[in-house]
Structure 1
Amino acid sequence: METKAAVASLSALAHEGRLSAFRLLVQAGEQGLPAGEIARRLDILPNTLSASLNLLSHADLVTARREGRSIIYTANYAAMRALLTFLMEDCCAGAPEICAPLAAIAGQGCPAQSPTA
């Protein structure tokens, strides 16, 4: 990832509402969530959410697809991994114990999701 792309991603996440929306989409998994559901869960006005999702989309952190009358938003996991890799690529300064806990967490992947009843 280039520095400009990292700055765009970090800038897009540098707002409480946008960060909350992104985290919710990360939790939702690959199926994503409709915009209306995101607005309901986060108690955000639809026009505010639309602006937030637009910024996240321009930073390539979320993708959108149409399903019938709904727009489904999904976290872009590849972009998230690229940003995390960018942030950690110069980590440690010769002391791997500094980043070892982060690398271990990143290496674990996603925790198992419990099935919904």
Structure 2
Amino acid sequence: MDTTLATRALSTLGHPGRLATFRLLMRFAPQGVRPTEIATALAVKQNTLSHHLSDLVASGLANVDRDGRSLFYSVNIEVAEALLSYLALDMGRARPDLIAPIQASLAAPSNGPWNVLFICSKNSARSIMAEALLRDLAPNSPVQIRAASAGTLPNSTLNPWAIETLARNGHDTSNLRAKHITEFQQPDAPRQDFVFTVCDAAAARDCAPWPRHPFTAHWGVPDPASNTSDTDTDHAAIFAQTYALLRHRITAFLKLPFTALSPICLQTHLDAIGTDTPKQG
């Protein structure tokens, strides 16, 4: 990245509103986000957000794509990588006292056991189903995996339809409980190797970075609890669809050849799983 492009990118990120917008887009990367969802998450007016997004696109830090009548904004990973390289390698001259601490914090997962954490807003349905699924499917993996889940909102309770769906599919639900994310952010909490958000609200939340920077990805799943139908049949069908989607993605995760993948390739696979859906029919 040349100095002109770096100056433009740094100037764009020098505004708190644009920086907050870019940080949110990074949490969804490489997926795109609608402006309405960004405005809600950041509590900013639509016209203000429009200026922020326009500036990010003009600087090359963000992309915008149209899908039908909707616009989706996403991070330009190549430009973001170039900016970080400019700061660390060009301006910073790759000084060991600058680079070494970053490299040490990005230590790859060991050969196991690995801790995998699923996060959603309430830890009542999607993330708790993901925890049970991974817990019961992981024994077939060559690497020992410990599954957990948490919510960003306190005082949640398990959704009875989620519990019923898990039980109907043969999962033991006796030890499942709703947990707040702070339980996993304590100094003595286990290191997380993988952290996946399964709802947009959790991904949009600006939380502190995880210690030792685990692999992260957004595996957004529609909220089955938002269904307004009054019939048990509809509720059961929607939760069954959620279960099937989560099982599909977790199965794909467990099939990854972890030891054969570089960190970049592994991240690419994790991102791809977040948009993968079961084939119909």
Q: Tell me the TM-score range normalised by the shorter chain.
A: 0.7 to 0.9
Greater Cα radius of gyration, structure 1 or 2: 2
Q: Which moved more, 1:104-113 or 1:30-39?
A: 104-113
Distance 2:36 2:73 in 1: 10
How many Å apart are 1:35 and its aligned residue?
Answer: 0.9
Q: 2:66 aligns to what? A: 66
Aligned to 2:94: 91
1:99 Cα offset (Å): 2.0
Q: Secondary structure at the match of 1:33?
A: coil
**Are 2:28 and 2:218, in contact at CA under 8 Å, matched by a contact in 1?**
no
Q: 1:98 to 1:66 in 2, by over 3 A?
A: closer
Matched to 2:64, the amino acid is A
2:103 matched residue in structure 1? 103
Deviation at 1:32, TM superposition (A): 1.3
Q: CA deviation at 1:31?
A: 1.7
Cα distance in 2 for partners of 1:38, 1:52 equals 11
Structure 2 residue 160 is matched with structure 1 residue 56:
no
Deviations 1:65-87 (A, max 9, x none): 01121110000111010000000
1:71-110 deviation line (CA, Å, top 9, x unaligned): 1000011101000000011131xxx244201234568687
Q: Which amino acid aligns with 1:72?
A: F
CA RMSD of aligned residues (A): 2.1
TM-aligned CA distance change 1:50 to 1:111, over 3 Å? same
Residue 112, structure 1, aligned to residue 216, structure 2: yes
**Match of residue 29 from structure 1:** 29
Cα distance in 2 for residues equivalent to 1:81 and 1:110:
18
In structure 2, distance between residues paired with 1:88 and 1:75: 20
Letter paired with 2:215: P
Match of 2:3 in 1: 3
Aligned-partner Cα distance in 2 for 1:105–1:78 = 22
Q: List alignment gaps of at least 5 residues for structure 2.
A: 109-212, 222-281
Change (3 A) 1:110 1:21: farther
Question: Aligned partners of 2:94, 2:97: CA distance in 1, in Å?
Answer: 10
**Closer/same/farther in 2, CA of residues 110 and 65 from structure 1, 3 Å limit:** farther
Structure 2: distance between partners of 1:65 and 1:104:
36
Letter of the structure 2 residue corresponding to residue 78 of structure 1: E
* Alpha-carbon spacing, 1:31–1:116, altered in 2? closer, same or farther (3 Å): closer
Deviation of the 1:13 alpha carbon: 0.4
Query: Judging changes above 3 Å, is the alpha-carbon distance between structure 1 residues 3 and 40 closer, same or farther for their aligned structure 2 residues?
Result: same
Q: How far 1:8 moved relative to its partner? A: 0.3
C-alpha distance in 2 between matches for 1:52 and 1:114: 23
- How many residue pairs are counted as aligned between the two chains? 114
Give me the whole-angstrom Cα distance separating, in 2, the residues matched to 1:42 and 1:107. Answer: 32
